[in-house]
């Protein structure tokens, strides 16, 4: 202290004034930087979209006063800060329906077609919220990247022209084919801490890696938000997942969610937001956190997210968003959970103890640690030979993922080895592909024998036996259309290691390989940076902004098209009970949106409702005979394909019902799984339980998703029975009556539950959300610029 005093004493008065003045200016600058009402752009592409931390903060203060300052989870903070009416909104976890004002909406090209057709049908001029369309799902990746893209541009020309024109007409940003996977583009360009985004893909949750509450939904939800309406979400419950320790060796961020999937199962996250916290989060990169959030969709979670960390700050800066990163620091106290917060469920995970996992086959929640995987595979007689290893997808295609996978490939090459299995690599975006190409990692992967595919989401394969991928889903037939293929999910580095050995029984942590000289060796643990030392290579000509003057733009749809079709108007409810309806199918067991509306070759009809409806429920298992796409037409007493019987019932003026098992409609957010049944004459789907997104999608198409009050009633109904539903009983919180008319002339009743609120009942009465939107005053909240 004496030395300090001495130095200070020797400082001249002028020098002292200068020091004090500089410090004051720094303090004032610091105070200015913490103002929440600054105009900071959400991204580098839109000049009129700003982050509104001030309103978010004001809304939170209102909610806190109502809660008497009860501690809030981070996810609660994000949701409540986006309430349409924070003063009077009911806020009961797991019960209330929140009316929210999302910051933006994103569409992938497959779901965008039907969503934008619906938006057009409502007669609305311009999107009221920032929106983007991303062309990724229609690119089928099966050969070299330029070939994949060229094929897609040729095969999907009319669809891309439609999407480009409808975006220009209605003020929507357009990301061209080949730019990358929608979720990677969102992370690189649009996601920011504390924001709320809704996307028409279940893996929109990926943006949780940057602290954004990102929720997957159906296309009608996106249209609703663009129309300027509040968006409804059933108030979730909250699962707190505390992370401590640090991943090491072969363990990767993917193993965190693979472990959690095993703990919670495919339906254990339904109705919940998974909120990660604890000291361990600081050891995970932003893209690693995105991987964890992405695959949370596979356990039914509404979304997953992490609080704001330094790793997020670094990623925002690296992707050209320094202003956003700094602004988030100003709002940092609200970008994490309050001390003392209470979660509805709590999980504690020590990252230091997590080992690599391999999940599957046929379901992403069958989790097996690698130390037990070989014996488990042998005990279950899973095909040992790995035919294909697939690296990439929206879950694992970051710079870090590619770097770590390339390090394993480099180790093998240094020992004179290449893959024993076929290996495909899908970079997440052109930003990633260009950057790993500059650093030589892409060349390493190619030298290893990998097939580098387009920056896209889809892959079509035809290989049987076992495959292993770093993807998020592995349902039967998902990757190659072959229901007998055993598909496993793991991290990119484990996929690479297993592909070198070509065997499910190989464990890179304990097993040795034989190099080209006959010597035994063990693969080194993977290594790789989460961010490139020299920055990312920014692609050119990737994004197309809507024109300032949209009056002359015409939306391009050919009346002769087999892929695009202007939507018909659905009839409103007739105000009467629905009586004596046939059961189209009693679906047994797992019925995902893939089973209800298959992907693969059907993707090309996503914009043509009548044509794509020929895939409706063709993958669902019929409880009557254990077969798929084979149901009894009760009016002709003949067996036929599901869509054919539905069309016959519709032609005869008969509404029909689907019976579903547990978690009906899990998986993708695919809206077609709801709009196709509506188009072909469905009245209701009655199930033991529903996946969240699909239940809402059904409501928005004017259908009744109902659940058995007693799940055992599902077993009492024969597929040939007739069904009556007292739809005039539909009221908030009130059960409805199902009457079952048996073949023998007897009948019985069962109680049905539902989750409709007043707004959703209006949708049903009007014949769907789009009919409701078309009744809106056109100038209420919409821009006409």
User: What mean pLDDT is predicted for residues 494-507?
Assistant: 97
Choosing from 668, 669, 724, 727, the catalytic residue is: 668
pLDDT tens track for 295-317: 999 998 999 999 999 999 999 99
Choosing from 101, 104, 134, 137, the catalytic residue is: 137
| pLDDT-above-70 percentage for the chain | 90
User: What mean pLDDT is predicted for residues 731-736?
Assistant: 97
Tell which residue, 204, 246, 187, 194, has the closest CA to residue 53. 194
User: What mean pLDDT is predicted for residues 211-233?
Assistant: 93
Contact of 364 with 489, CB cutoff 8 Å: yes
Q: Write the CA distances from 488 to 144, 493, 592, 718, integer angstroms.
A: 24, 14, 18, 36
- Residue that is written with structure tokens 């985004």 in the block: 197
Would strands 213-216 and 196-199 be described as parallel, antiparallel, or unpaired? parallel
Three-class SS of residue 145?
helix
Grade residue 140 by pLDDT with cuts at 50, 70 and 90: low
Alpha carbons 71 and 53: distance in angstroms, whole number: 19
pLDDT tens track for 377-403: 999 999 999 999 999 888 899 999 999
Contact of 675 with 694, CB cutoff 8 Å: no
Choosing from 52, 103, 136, 661, the catalytic residue is: 136
201 is known as an active-site residue: yes
Three-state secondary structure of 68-131: CCCCCCHHHHHHHCCECCCCCCCCCCCCCEEEECCCEEEEEHHHHHHHHHHHHHCCCCCCCCCE
Contact of 356 with 370, CB cutoff 8 Å: yes
**Residue 429 backbone phi and psi in degrees, to 5:** -160, 170
Alpha carbons 670 and 746: distance in angstroms, whole number: 38
Would strands 747-753 and 704-708 be described as parallel, antiparallel, or unpaired? antiparallel
Alpha carbons 278 and 335: distance in angstroms, whole number: 14
670 is known as an active-site residue: yes
Higher pLDDT, 9 or 124: 124
137 is known as an active-site residue: yes
Q: Which two tokens stand for residue 536?
A: 């990312």
Give the per-residue pLDDT at 157.
92
Give the per-residue pLDDT at 152.
77
Q: Where are the beta strands (DSSP E) in 523-637?
A: 543-544, 578-586, 631-633
Q: Where are the alpha helices (DSSP H) in 390-507?
A: 399-414, 430-438, 441-447, 492-501
Choosing from 104, 311, 404, 473, the catalytic residue is: 473
Alpha carbons 567 and 519: distance in angstroms, whole number: 65
Show the domains of the chain with their CATH numbers: 357-515 (3.30.499.10), 578-767 (3.20.19.10)
User: What mean pLDDT is predicted for residues 645-661?
Assistant: 98
433 is known as an active-site residue: no
Choosing from 201, 401, 480, 594, the catalytic residue is: 201
| pLDDT-above-90 percentage for the chain | 78
194-221 in b/e form (b: 16+ CB < 10 A) is bbbbbbbbbbbbbbbbbbbbbbbbbbbb
Contacts of 733 (CB under 8 A, 6+ apart): none
- Report CA dihedral (11, 17, 18, 19) to the nearest 10 degrees: 70
606 is known as an active-site residue: no
């Amino acid at each position: 202290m004496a030395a300090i005093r001495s130095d200070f004493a020797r400082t001249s008065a002028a020098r002292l004034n200068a020091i004090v003045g500089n410090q004051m200016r720094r303090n004032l600058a610091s105070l200015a930087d913490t103002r929440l009402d600054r105009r900071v752009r959400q991204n580098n592409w839109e000049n009129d979209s700003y982050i509104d931390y001030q309103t978010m903060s004001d809304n939170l203060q209102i909610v806190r006063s109502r809660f008497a300052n009860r501690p809030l989870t981070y996810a609660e903070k994000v949701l409540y800060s986006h309430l349409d009416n924070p003063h009077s909104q009911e806020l009961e976890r797991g019960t209330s329906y929140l009316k929210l004002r999302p910051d933006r909406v994103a569409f992938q090209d497959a779901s965008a077609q039907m969503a934008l057709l619906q938006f057009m049908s409502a007669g609305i001029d311009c999107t009221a919220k920032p929106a983007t369309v991303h062309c990724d799902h229609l690119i089928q990746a099966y050969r070299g990247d330029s070939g994949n893209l060229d094929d897609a541009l040729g095969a999907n020309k009319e669809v891309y022209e439609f999407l480009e024109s409808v975006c220009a007409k209605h003020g929507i940003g357009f990301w061209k084919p080949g730019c990358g996977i929608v979720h990677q583009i969102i992370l690189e360009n649009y996601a920011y801490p504390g924001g709320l985004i809704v996307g028409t893909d279940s893996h929109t949750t990926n943006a949780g890696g940057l602290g954004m509450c990102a929720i997957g939904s159906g296309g009608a939800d996106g249209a609703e938000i663009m129309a300027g309406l509040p968006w409804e979400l059933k108030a979730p419950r909250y699962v707190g997942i505390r992370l401590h320790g640090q991943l090491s060796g072969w363990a990767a961020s993917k193993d965190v969610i693979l472990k959690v999937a095993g703990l919670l199962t495919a339906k254990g996250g339904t109705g919940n937001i998974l909120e990660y916290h604890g000291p361990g989060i600081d050891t995970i990169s932003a893209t690693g956190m995105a991987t964890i959030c992405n695959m949370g969709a596979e356990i039914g979670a509404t979304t997953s997210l992490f609080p704001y960390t330094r790793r997020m700050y670094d990623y925002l800066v690296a992707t050209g968003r320094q202003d956003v990163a700094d602004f988030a620091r100003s709002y940092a106290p609200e970008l994490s959970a309050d001390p003392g917060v209470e979660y509805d469920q709590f999980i504690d995970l020590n990252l230091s103890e997590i080992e690599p996992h391999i999940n599957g086959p046929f379901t992403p929640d069958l989790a097996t640690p690698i130390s037990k995987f070989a014996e488990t595979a042998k005990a279950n007689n899973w095909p040992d030979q790995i035919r294909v290893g697939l690296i990439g997808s929206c879950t694992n295609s970051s710079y870090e993922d590619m770097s770590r996978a390339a390090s394993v490939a480099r180790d093998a090459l240094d020992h004179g080895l290449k893959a024993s299995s076929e290996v495909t690599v899908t970079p997440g975006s052109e930003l990633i592909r260009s950057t790993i190409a500059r650093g030589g990692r892409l060349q390493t992967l190619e030298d290893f024998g990998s097939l580098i595919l387009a920056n896209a989401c889809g892959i079509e394969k035809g290989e049987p036996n076992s495959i292993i991928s770093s993807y998020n889903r592995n349902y039967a037939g998902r990757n190659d259309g072959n229901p007998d293929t055993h598909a496993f999910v793991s991290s990119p580095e484990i996929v690479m290691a297993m592909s070198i050995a070509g065997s499910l029984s190989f464990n890179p942590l304990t097993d040795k390989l034989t190099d080209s000289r006959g010597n035994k060796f063990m693969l080194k643990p993977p290594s790789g940076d989460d961010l490139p030392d020299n920055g990312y290579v920014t692609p050119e000509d990737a994004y197309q902004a809507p024109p300032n003057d949209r009056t002359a733009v015409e939306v391009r749809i050919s009346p002769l098209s087999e892929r695009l079709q202007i939507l018909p108007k659905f009839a409103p409810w007739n105000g009467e009970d629905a009586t004596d309806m046939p059961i189209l199918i009693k679906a047994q067991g797992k019925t995902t949106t893939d089973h209800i509306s298959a992907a693969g070759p059907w993707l090309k009809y996503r914009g043509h409702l009548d044509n794509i409806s020929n895939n409706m429920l063709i993958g669902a298992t019929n409880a009557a005979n254990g077969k798929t796409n084979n149901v009894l037409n009760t009016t002709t007493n003949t067996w036929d394909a599901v869509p054919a019987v539905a069309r016959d019932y519709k032609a005869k003026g008969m509404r029909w019902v689907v019976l579903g098992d547990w978690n009906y409609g899990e998986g993708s957010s695919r809206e077609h799984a709801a709009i196709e049944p509506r188009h072909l004459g469905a009245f209701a789907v009655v199930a033991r339980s529903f996946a969240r997104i699909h239940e809402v999608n059904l409501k928005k198409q004017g259908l009744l998703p109902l659940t058995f009050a007693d799940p055992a009633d599902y077993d009492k109904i024969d597929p040939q029975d007739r069904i009556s539903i007292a739809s005039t009983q539909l009221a908030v919180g009130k059960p409805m009556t199902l009457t079952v008319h048996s073949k023998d002339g007897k009948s019985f009743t069962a109680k049905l539950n539902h989750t409709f609120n007043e707004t959703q009942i209006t949708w049903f009465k009007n014949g769907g959300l789009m009919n409701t939107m078309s009744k809106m005053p056109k100038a209420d909240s919409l821009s006409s610029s």
